[in-house]
Structure 1
């Protein structure tokens, strides 16, 4: 089985066999991401994409805050279907993209790219560089990129998979060609299992 097929199979099984509260990364309300987005004071019709957000509640809260140009990308069709069910009629207001991010071919330029807990699953240099290339081609000049990933004091594995840990310095270096790092801070995520995971949140702007 090719690696991308294995990855899709893995995440389809996760979102078939586990409820929201049975995955460590679940947030009832993604307050940190919402606070960062609010601080940007973006127009309500700004094009926003949530990467790996198939079962995140971020888009639900953005809809409640009157944002109206929203997209969700996820490799798992099961995750997307779960969120469609939660949103009900409001699901029609969202563009749903079932794709591995590494195969994503953007058809529009985004003004905000949000990624909480997808990027750190890439452990091969070629995949990391491909992600960065797709990101750069997907955003307008001056657009924002919010990245939340495991910090150097965070987990070394998640959902049974190896991950890559990051420091602000490492991320700044990775994205330096096209992006300026505006803000970086650590945040402890309390899992549904009452354990803790150390994340690092980063706000970049495209040059």
Structure 2
């Protein structure tokens, strides 16, 4: 995992989760995405780049019982596990770089809030898509959020690529068919606004 792992572990060791720009007190837009796509607690979900987010607790509260959280930073997952307390054992925690991850199983939902836009090199995006195809079931749902075209150009000291729905659709291509898109004005812990582009895709092969 190399320097990427060192960078993100450093971020989470130097800051509490509430002090990073992507922090949300509640993962409202992720839950909205699940509702828009009609996805309920019987679905399996992998949250890519889940970090120290509050999504696992929100999913458990909704009755989800097949939850995997993937992140390159072990320190981020440690913070999420600590927050969950005894419920931590109801979640599968995976420390891996998504561009090199070899999933041992498949999922109904692939959720990514703010990982893909850090992949500025074509080989990284190609590797991400390869992992996505390995992990997401035919007929499954890809939910992805990136900085919008008028969003930040950098985050956590790193450059990003910004997207609109058409650009994301072009990145993933067949067999992914866009099923919805919307915008989010994310307010950081210090009050600035970051514009996000959200998209949902269906993997269109028959299950």
Give the alignment's TM-score, normalised by structure 2.
Answer: 0.96
> Could you tell me how far apart the structure 2 residues matched to 1:50 and 1:63 are?
13
Partner of 1:97: 94
Question: Aligned pair 1:198/2:195, yes or no?
Answer: yes
Change (3 A) 1:16 1:206: same
* 8 Å Cα contact 2:114/2:146 also seen in 1: yes
* 8 Å Cα contact 1:118/1:149 also seen in 2: yes
Alpha carbon RMSD of aligned pairs, Å? 1.0
Any idea what SS the aligned residue of 2:99 has?
Answer: helix
Q: Deviations over 1:181-202 (max 9, x none)?
A: 1111111100001001000000
Structure 1 residue 35, shift from structure 2 partner: 1.3
Count of residue correspondences: 204
Question: Aligned pair 1:19/2:26, yes or no?
Answer: no
> Could you tell me how far apart the structure 2 residues matched to 1:60 and 1:178 are?
31
Any idea what SS the aligned residue of 2:18 has?
Answer: helix
* 8 Å Cα contact 1:114/1:145 also seen in 2: yes
Q: Of the candidates 35, 39, 45, which is equivalent to residue 38 of structure 1? A: 35
Q: Which segment drifts farther, 66-75 or 16-25?
A: 16-25
> Could you tell me how far apart the structure 2 residues matched to 1:42 and 1:118 are?
22
* 8 Å Cα contact 2:100/2:127 also seen in 1: no
> Could you tell me how far apart the structure 1 residues matched to 2:37 and 2:86 are?
28
Structure 1 residue 77, shift from structure 2 partner: 0.5
Runs of 5+ consecutive residues of structure 2 not aligned to the other structure: none
Q: Of the candidates 103, 106, 112, which is equivalent to residue 106 of structure 1? A: 103
> Could you tell me how far apart the structure 1 residues matched to 2:40 and 2:198 are?
22
Partner of 1:76: 73
Partner of 1:131: 128
Question: Aligned pair 1:47/2:44, yes or no?
Answer: yes
* 8 Å Cα contact 1:136/1:178 also seen in 2: no
> Could you tell me how far apart the structure 2 residues matched to 1:44 and 1:158 are?
32
> Could you tell me how far apart the structure 2 residues matched to 1:186 and 1:51 are?
20
Structure 1 residue 43, shift from structure 2 partner: 4.4
Partner of 1:119: 116
* 8 Å Cα contact 1:144/1:203 also seen in 2: yes
Runs of 5+ consecutive residues of structure 1 not aligned to the other structure: none
